[in-house]
Structures are given as structure tokens and as C-alpha cells.
Amino acid sequence: MPEPTAPMDAKLPEGLVAVVKRDCATCTLVAPLLKDLVATHDAFTVYVQDDISFPDLGNAAPKDDTSLTFSWHNNIETVPTLIEVADGEEVRRTVGWLRSDWQNFTGRTDLGSDLPEMRPGCGSLSVDPNLVDELAVRFTGSKLKSRRIEFAAMEDDFEAAFDRGWTDGLPVIPPTEARVLRMLTGIGRDPGEIVATVPPNLVDVTVEQVAINAVMAGCKPEYLSVVLAAVEAACTDQFNMHGLIATTYFSGPVIVVNGPIAKRIGMNAGGNLMGQGNRANMTIGRAVNLIIRNIGGGIPGQVDMSMHGSPGKLSFCFAEREDDSPFTSLAQSRGVAPGQSAVTLFAGQGPTPIVDQLSRDPDSLARSIASVLRSTHHPKLVIGMDAMLVISPEHGKVFAEGGWDRTALEERLAELLEVPGSELIRGAAFVDEGLPPDFADSDLPKFRPGGLPIVFGGGDAGLFSSVISGWVGGPMGSDLATRTMDSTTGASS
């Protein structure tokens, strides 16, 4: 698309040009000088951004730039700005009030002698954060390809989104062109690039469409690279999002973020990390689920057949607490280099607490944790279902002081979670659920290899850890899926 040409009312007039606004103390300070210069200078033009009755120029009148056309096309970032123009081209400019510059530009050595030597200017309305995206759409035209939907004059934007089935049960932010363009500034990727094929309807989703749903979820532009990486991970055969949606089980995508990007965008890895209150945590997970719904067609009661569901199917996203962890990070355990940002998706539901306030020996604490893990899903259910273990800082301290790292904890839990088949068979403990009698003489692991990922996080106080019980693991269900990302371009691998 060719760059649009500037309209006639954005052309620079010959001579000197000043741009001001009433809502600026420095512009008010220089207003008497502007009246004098218009009266005495051969070519002196004043543009005003906010109030065409300002400044008083005597018999002349300022140029109306309340549309900000002139300011936007001429890159006015500060007012007052004074520009020297010759043969239609800008020669030089100065911003704010600096007496020596204004005297030099105008050739008036006495100009402003009774004013302070210098005063800084104010922000131009053309770069006002509340206006800049709308101005970009107005003056450059939108490059977005998505279908536009016009609401009726009396329709409420939020209610209209509910009526059209675009929401997850909570209000969504209307994805205006300006908001979507702003969201796309968070990355350096082509908006038309296909990110993934989204189940269950197997629809290709573009960067632009991901951005639209990220706006709707309430994300900031700097979150977009994480959302993109999470979408790519969710839409792999490895993670099996289609199966996860279609199952009658509880699970949804649990998103764990590692690396520098988590801090840069303000994610929570501490107290209440799995709960409410942090915008990045809540909206990144929500954006992924909205994409599965709005693009992929994963609508509850239609393809999404979960029997009970879980609040995590709205959003379940948090960062791992890496700075003081006694363990290597989840991402590093999966081969990601230290210092590299990454997301890992796990198919899980809500956390179950592990309460041990007395163990100060790592083996005792490991036994406590194993006893809770043993009952995950069902005490007789082994190998088939995964879980994620989230170790809290106070429990982590016990392991650190005992010299246990990730490998030591993983190996001890594997030993403790070898279950005698005699306790697993049907009828054992007077419970009909269980394995066939043929397994009575076997010892079986509670979790398959790799089926118990460990994450570190949470608040400083509280001798509690948690288990996020998962879905079926392996080829018949879902495996962990990790994607690294470039936090600038949003590119992942």
C-alpha cells in the first residue's frame, strides 16, 4: 500500500510557522509575541490545536488545526513549535521557548527580553496517547484485513458483543481499528502472517486476528508476543487442544511463562499468582481461550463438552518465580536456554492445596507431597493422568536448605509414587474402581515419565504448595508444549 500524501491543509506555508494550544502555559507566555510577529513579520503563520479564539493576533486569525491534520503530518510533538520554511521545505525548528532561538529565527534581537530565558513546552495533541491511534487510522488509513462490523446507532458495544457470541461470559473490549493497530505495535510481525491452525474447526489464524482477540481480552501491546507463542503452543498436535476441548473432562490450557519477558510485562510470579489481580496473568490466558472460541469454534455446549469445566478455562496463566528458586526453571528443564523467554502449556484444572506446616526435612516434605499426589484424580488411577506440582517459596526453602535440586526432588517423588498393585486393583479398600486383578503383583508409577512437571512460585508466606491436576498424558491426550519467543518481534520457535 503506497504511503498517503499529505492533504493541502498540512502543507507548510512559507516563512515562519508557530504551532500552539491554549492549554499550555508556555504557549500562553509567548502569545503576546505571536501577535507582534504576525503584525511585523512578512510571513508568519500561527496554527492552534485546541481553541481557535487563541491566541489574540489582532487583525489576523490563527489557522484552525483542531483536526490536528497539520500537526500530525508535520510531526509536531511539542508546543509551542517554531518552524522556518523556505521553498516549501522545513529548514529548522525549535520547541518550547528558548529566547536565543526565537530571536535567531525571527531576526529580532529584542524579542522576549522581558520573558524568562527558557521554558519547556507541552505535549502536542497530535501525540496525545488518547488520540494518537485514532489519528493514525484517520490519516494513514487502516491496513487491517479483518471484516468490519457496524453496530446500529442505539446498540451498546458491550451488549452487542454478548449478543453476537464473542465473549467468554465477561464483557470484552470493543476491538476498534485504533485499538488493534495499537496492539500490533507490540510486535514486529506482518499482521497477515498465519500463526497457527486453530482447533476444533481448524481455521488459520493471523497475527491480526490474534491481536483482535488480545484487545478483546484486555491485553496491553507488550503482552502480544506471549499470546502469540501461547497460541502456537496450544495449536500443536503435541498439546492436542482439539482433544482437550472435546473431552468431558475439566481441563483447559495452563500457561506458565519463563524468562525476562515475565518481569518486563509485569507478570505475577508471587502471592496469588494463580488468582485475580494481575492484568498480564489474567488477560494473556483469556486471550488464548477467546481465540479458541472465536476463531476455532470451541464453544461450550457445542464442541466444548466439559462436564464441569473449571475457572481456569477462562484464564489460567502465571509466571514462574525464578530469581530465588532452588530449582532450574520449567523452561530450562525442557531445554530452553537460561535467559530465554518461553511459554509452556499444560492441560490442567484448578489447584489442590498441599498443606505441610511442620516438615523441615526435605524427605519428610517430599513424603507429604507424594501422599497428596497419590490421591490426584483418584488414588487408584495411575500412569494415565498428568499433574503439575507448584512448590511455594517456604517449601522451596526446605528443599534448598537440604541441598535438594529439581532432579533430587523428581527422583525421590518417583520412588515415593511407586504404588503396589495390590492397592490399585478393583475391590481393594472396598472400592470397585481400579485396575484388573492381573496387576495385583505389580508396582506401578503414579505418573508416566515427564508427567509431573515442577514449577516454583507463590508468595513469601505460607507453608503450602499445590497440585494442578491434569488431563490424560501422552499420545492419547496432551503433552507439555513449549515455545520460546523474541519479545520484540513475537517470533517463536
Q: What is the pLDDT of residues 108-126, one digit of tens each?
A: 999 999 999 999 999 999 9
**Whether residues 49 and 189 fall in one domain:** no
Nearest to 73 by CA among 139, 27, 150: 139
Cis peptide before 7 (omega within 30 of 0): no
Q: Is residue 22 assigned to a domain?
A: yes
Q: Is residue 491 assigned to a domain?
A: no
Question: How many other C-beta atoms can be found within 10 angstroms of the C-beta atom of residue 217?
Answer: 25
326 class by beta-carbon count within 10 Å (0-12 exposed, 13-18 middle, 19+ buried): buried
Nearest to 227 by CA among 236, 242, 237, 217: 217
pLDDT confidence bin for 134, thresholds 50/70/90: confident
Specify the pLDDT at position 492. 63
Cis peptide before 55 (omega within 30 of 0): yes
Q: Which of 94, 109, 139 is the last residue of a domain?
A: 139
Share of the chain above pLDDT 90, in %: 87
Summary mean pLDDT of the chain: 94
**What is the pLDDT averaged over residues 259-274?**
96
**Whether residues 351 and 452 fall in one domain:** yes
Question: Per this entry, what is the length of the chain?
Answer: 493
Q: Is residue 273 assigned to a domain?
A: yes
**What is the pLDDT averaged over residues 222-231?**
97
Specify the pLDDT at position 7. 78
Q: 44 by DSSP, 3-state: which?
A: strand
Asked if pLDDT for residue 401 goes beyond 60, the answer is yes
Q: What is the pLDDT of residues 31-41, one digit of tens each?
A: 999 999 999 99
Specify the pLDDT at position 439. 95
Of the CA atoms within 13 Å of residue 193, those in its CB half-sphere come to 15
Specify the pLDDT at position 31. 97
Specify the pLDDT at position 214. 98
Specify the pLDDT at position 475. 86
Q: What are phi and psi of 47, to 5 degrees?
A: -110, 140
Q: What are phi and psi of 128, to 5 degrees?
A: -60, 125
Specify the pLDDT at position 144. 85
Nearest to 29 by CA among 125, 83, 126, 99: 99
Helices 132-140 & 177-184, crossing angle to 10 degrees? Answer: 100
**Whether residues 119 and 232 fall in one domain:** no
- Among 44-48, 178-182, 313-317, the minimum mean pLDDT is found in 178-182
330 class by beta-carbon count within 10 Å (0-12 exposed, 13-18 middle, 19+ buried): buried
Rg (CA), the chain: 31
What's the one-letter identity of residue 303? V
> In CATH, what number is assigned to the domain containing residue 95?
3.40.30.10
408 grid coordinates: 533430587
**Whether residues 133 and 218 fall in one domain:** no
Q: Is residue 468 assigned to a domain?
A: yes
388 grid coordinates: 503439575
Q: Is residue 424 assigned to a domain?
A: yes
Asked if pLDDT for residue 341 goes beyond 60, the answer is yes
Look at the alpha carbons of 343, 345, 349, 351 in this order and tell me if their dihedral is positive or negative. negative
Range of the domain at 67: 8-139
Asked if pLDDT for residue 295 goes beyond 90, the answer is yes
pLDDT confidence bin for 488, thresholds 50/70/90: low
Q: What is the pLDDT of residues 53-100, one digit of tens each?
A: 999 999 999 999 999 999 999 999 999 999 999 999 999 999 999 999
Q: Which of 139, 168, 191 is the last residue of a domain?
A: 139
**What is the pLDDT averaged over residues 132-149?**
84
**Whether residues 171 and 310 fall in one domain:** yes
**Whether residues 36 and 131 fall in one domain:** yes
Q: Is residue 326 assigned to a domain?
A: yes
pLDDT confidence bin for 489, thresholds 50/70/90: low
Look at the alpha carbons of 444, 446, 451, 454 in this order and tell me if their dihedral is positive or negative. negative
pLDDT confidence bin for 141, thresholds 50/70/90: confident
Asked if pLDDT for residue 490 goes beyond 70, the answer is no
What is the CA 410 to chain-centroid distance, rounded?
32
Residues facing 464 on adjacent strands: 355
Asked if pLDDT for residue 1 goes beyond 60, the answer is no
Q: 395 by DSSP, 3-state: which?
A: helix
Which residue bears the cell 481465540?
291
| End-to-end alpha carbon distance in the chain | 30
Q: Give ∠ CA 404-410-415 in degrees, rounded to 5.
A: 110
Q: Where are the beta strands (DSSP E) in 277-401?
A: 317-319, 342-355, 385-391
**Whether residues 74 and 217 fall in one domain:** no
**Whether residues 165 and 122 fall in one domain:** no
Q: List Cβ neighbours of 220 (8 Å cut-off, separation of 6 or more).
A: 186, 265, 279, 280, 283
Q: 22 by DSSP, 3-state: which?
A: coil
Which residue bears the cell 485475580?
276
**Whether residues 303 and 395 fall in one domain:** yes
pLDDT confidence bin for 46, thresholds 50/70/90: very high
**Whether residues 117 and 212 fall in one domain:** no
Residues facing 203 on adjacent strands: 198
**What is the pLDDT averaged over residues 305-330?**
95
Q: Which of 109, 139, 169 is the last residue of a domain?
A: 139
Q: Is residue 239 assigned to a domain?
A: yes
**Whether residues 246 and 348 fall in one domain:** yes
Number of structural domains, the chain?
2
Asked if pLDDT for residue 204 goes beyond 70, the answer is yes
**Whether residues 224 and 135 fall in one domain:** no
DSSP 9: G
144 grid coordinates: 487491517
Q: Is residue 180 assigned to a domain?
A: yes
Cβ-contact 24, 121 below 8 angstroms = yes
- Among 8-17, 146-155, 230-239, 301-310, the minimum mean pLDDT is found in 146-155
**What is the pLDDT averaged over residues 398-404?**
97
Residues facing 206 on adjacent strands: 194
Cβ-contact 273, 176 below 8 angstroms = no
Q: What is the pLDDT of residues 458-483, one digit of tens each?
A: 999 999 999 999 999 988 899 999 99
Helices 177-184 & 207-217, crossing angle to 10 degrees? Answer: 110
